[in-house]
A = this chain, B = another copy of it.
Amino acid sequence: MSAVRVHNFTVSLDGFAAGPQQSFDDPLGIGGMRLHEWLFATGTFDSTDGASGLDDEYALQREIGVGATIMGRNMFGPIRGGWGAEQWAGWWGDDPPFHHPVFVLTHHAHAPIHMEGGTTFHFVTEGIQAALEQARAAAGDADVCIGGGVQTLLQYLRARLIDRVHLVIAPVLLGSGERLLGSDPAEPPLGYEVTEMVSSPTVTHVRLRRAT
């Protein structure tokens, strides 16, 4: 069976994947955008001015062999509750960088949105297992990427449905925000082990694998 992977998921040195006070103007919370500067500087993200090197090698893995993406509704957009009249189609413009089917977890049904470049947003109201089944069917032999955000990743991690995680530690202290690892001290360990940890001049890359 194809793998379920997470890539380029960046946390601060103090462990936060988003800063405090997330809003439409600050979708990643105060200071949260600083987490992703390493990615914006890669050739994978910016084919004109981006650089090659270790960070780019990691960033590119997100694109290789991935046939479908799953994301939470809060990553898709800032709208909460019902969808309303506005036709929101994601943060990524007319040609989103996915180029494959994207499954958005939501409690509110919505017709698929077909974008340029091969990206279609599908909306799944039946939960994370159903979304994974649909994503796997769409991906065929390719892998499924869990895109984010934090709460979506946590749901899949707790269900032990993710095989591998590429985590990035940015040299930034946010002080508070939304935590991926160790967010609930009462929770048993998630059952993952560190298989790699290596620094570029900019960030530290970590690979986790589900323990058998």
Contact = CB atoms under 8 A, between A and B. Distances in A.
Given A13-B167, A173-B190, A174-B182, 5 more contacts: A174-B189, A175-B187, A176-B182, A177-B185, A197-B199
A57 to B, nearest CB: 15
Nearest to A189: B175
A171 B206 CA distance: 8
Nearest to A184: B176
Interface string A147-187: 00000000000000000000101011111110101100111
A84 interface: no
Contacts of A197: 13, 169, 171, 199, 203-204
Contacts of A171: 194, 197, 206
Nearest to A185: B176
Contacts of A181: 13-15, 173
Interface in A17-43: 20
Nearest to A196: B171
Nearest to A198: B199
Contacts of A186: 176
Contacts of A204: 169, 197, 199, 204
A211 B53 CA distance: 30
Contacts of A82: none
Contacts of A9: none
Given A15-B15, A204-B204, A206-B13, A194 B182 contact: no
